[in-house]
Amino acid sequence: MRGNDQQAYDRGTSLFSPDGRIYQVEYAREAVSRGAPSVGVRTQDGVVLAAETQSSSPLLIDESIEKLHKLDDHLGTTNAGHVADARQLIDYARRMAQGDRLRYGEPVGVETVTKYVTDHVQENTQRGGTRPYGVALLIGGVEDGEPRLFGADPTGTPREWKATAIGGSRGELQEILEDGWSEELSLGDGVSLALEALATVVDEVDGEAFSVATVDTETGYGTMTDDEIAARVEELDVETDEE
């Protein structure tokens, strides 16, 4: 194959290569793998969303690093990859959630809003003049009294999970989640499992290195304070990358 032909496959978002690949989508997935990790854990009484928010500079204001977002009273999300792309998808998900409330007078389902987002993401993998979103989302919430957790990646594929990770060090995080997850997990246990996983891939473990949100089946979406996270982290017995 000539070099120019290869570049055509490389640059096009609506062209398959001869071996059935869309290179721009693969590049988007690589962007996700280079992002700060996030974790989602489904438990008996809610969903835990946790993310690494460790500052890359002592001059950076920690509060400006936003990795957890409320979509509705019963619905939250976290992301890994390009933050600007994430903001666009989060705003889109919020509009869809508000639209369903206005139209039907009830909260949108977790699976429904995930498929709204993934349909939108998938359009950018088949249309010229655009590029795929370089971000993955974890969307967790409560639907008909039951906690549910979904993932959405740059291909536009929705998948439901019991627990999963996105972003950097995903393989390592996934192993910890697979070893620690069980059907009997409480919401508090889910927080500990999420923090235990993230603590193994950061340089310095403290309360400010992570953000945690929970979506409780009774009380809905809420976030934990730095002090609450620090207290949980102190209870953990993990080896960090620095160690």
Strand ranges, E, within the chain: 38-43, 46-52, 68-72, 75-81, 135-143, 146-152, 158-160, 163-166, 210-216, 220-223
Domain boundaries in the chain?
Answer: 17-235
What pLDDT does residue 63 have? 76
φ, ψ for residue 146, nearest 5 deg: -115, 135
Q: Are 68 and 76 in contact (CB under 8 A)?
A: yes
What pLDDT was estimated at residue 162? Answer: 97
According to DSSP, residue 49 is labeled: E
Q: Which CATH number fits domain 17-235: 3.90.1150.10, 3.20.20.140, 3.60.20.10, 3.30.590.20?
A: 3.60.20.10
- Nearest by Cα to 172 from 86, 81, 82, 238: 238
**Residue-level pLDDT at 242:** 46
Q: What is the DSSP string of 90-121?
A: HHHHHHHHHHHHHHHSSPPPHHHHHHHHHHHH
Q: Which residues, including other chains, have CB under 8 Å from residue 88's CB and lie 6 or more apart?
A: 133
Question: Structure tokens of 167?
Answer: 């972003």
pTM of the model: 0.90
**What residues contact 30, with CB distance under 8 A and at least 6 apart?**
none
User: Which of 93, 117, 97, 92 shows the shortest CA–CA distance to 109?
Assistant: 97
Residues in the chain: 243
| Mode of pairing for the β-strands spanning 158-160 and 146-152 | antiparallel
Q: How far apart are CA 219 and CA 227, in angstroms?
A: 21
pLDDT by 10s per residue, the chain, length 243 = 444 555 666 776 777 888 888 888 899 999 999 999 999 999 999 999 999 987 777 787 777 788 999 999 999 999 999 999 999 999 999 999 999 999 999 999 999 999 999 999 999 888 777 889 999 999 999 999 999 999 999 999 999 999 999 998 899 999 999 999 999 999 999 999 999 999 998 876 766 789 999 999 999 999 999 889 989 988 876 554 444
